[in-house]
Amino acid sequence: MTTNDTPLTKEMILDAAEQVLRRYGPDKTSVIDIAKVLQVSHGTLYRHFASKASLREAVTERWLQYSIAAPLEEIAGRTDGSSIERLRLWLVTLIHAKRKFAVEDAEMFGMYAAVTMIEVDMITAHVNRLIRQIAQIIEQGMANREFKPGQSAPHAKAVFLATSRFHHPAHAKEWSLETVDDDFEAVWQLLLTGLA
C-alpha cells in the first residue's frame, strides 16, 4: 500500500505485481488488480510500465535475478575447493531451484515459462549470464589443471545446452520421472569426461 506521503517506486509496483500474480496467476491478473493493492489508479502504473506485458517482463526479470542468477553467481565466484565440485554444485543448484519453483511457486514459474517463449532478448541475456558463470568455473578449473586447456566460453555453452533437459521450463513435466536423476548423472559423467 502507498500513502500520499510515499512516492510510488518501480520496486513497490513489482512487489505488488508479484503478490497479485501469485494470488491470481499470470492469465487472470490485471493491471487494475495490482493498482488496487497499491491503492492507486491503474493509469499511475502506466507511468512506470508501458503495458501489462512490460510489467510482467520486469517481474520475471527480477525473479530470475534474485531467485536463480544471484545464488548461482555466489557459487561461480568461489575460489575455494575443487572446480569440478563447484561446477556440479552450480548445476545441481540450478536444477533443484527450477524443480522447487515449478512445484512451490507454480504461478511465478508458469509466468517465467510463458515469458521464455515471448521475451527472447530478456531470456537470452539471462541465459548468457548463466553461461558466463559456468565459464568462470571452467576457467578456474583450467587454471588449477582440473580441466583440460581450451576455450571456456564454448565449453560453458555446451555444458548449459547439454543439461537443458534438467532446467529448461519446456521440460518441467519430465522432472518428476523416476529416471531423471540417473539421466542427469549420465550426462554429468559424459561432460566430465570431455572437460577433465
Supply the pLDDT for residue 75.
97
pLDDT value, residue 93: 98
Q: What is the dihedral of CA 174, 175, 181, 186, to 10 degrees?
A: 50
- Using an 8 Å Cβ cutoff, are 118 and 88 in contact? no
Digit-by-digit pLDDT tens for the chain (196 residues) are 544 556 888 899 999 988 888 888 777 888 888 889 999 988 888 888 888 888 888 888 999 999 999 999 999 999 999 999 999 999 999 999 999 999 998 888 888 888 888 888 889 999 999 999 999 999 999 999 999 999 999 999 999 999 999 999 999 999 999 999 999 999 999 999 999 9
CA dihedral 82, 88, 91, 94 (to 10 degrees): -80
Query: 183: which DSSP letter?
Result: H
Architecture of domain 52-195: Orthogonal Bundle (1.10)
Domain span(s) for CATH 1.10.357.10 in the chain? 52-195
* Predicted TM-score of the model (pTM): 0.87
pLDDT at 193: 96
What's the CA gap between 96 and 68, in Å, rounded? 10
Instruction: Report which DSSP code applies to 69.
Output: I
Quick count: other Cβ atoms within 10 Å of Cβ 48?
A: 15
Give me the CATH code for the 10-46 domain, please: 1.10.10.60
CA distances 194 to 21, 70, 99, 150, 164, Å, are: 43, 28, 27, 11, 17
Neighbouring C-beta atoms of residue 79, cutoff 10 Å: 8
pLDDT at 43: 86
Burial 58-72 (b: 16+ CB within 10 A, else e): bbbbbbbeebbbeeb
Residue pair 58/10 in contact by the 8 Å Cβ criterion: yes
pLDDT at 117: 81
| CATH code 1.10.10.60 region(s) in the chain | 10-46
CA neighbor of 60 nearest in space, from 9, 121, 18, 13: 18
Q: What is the pLDDT of residue 5?
A: 54
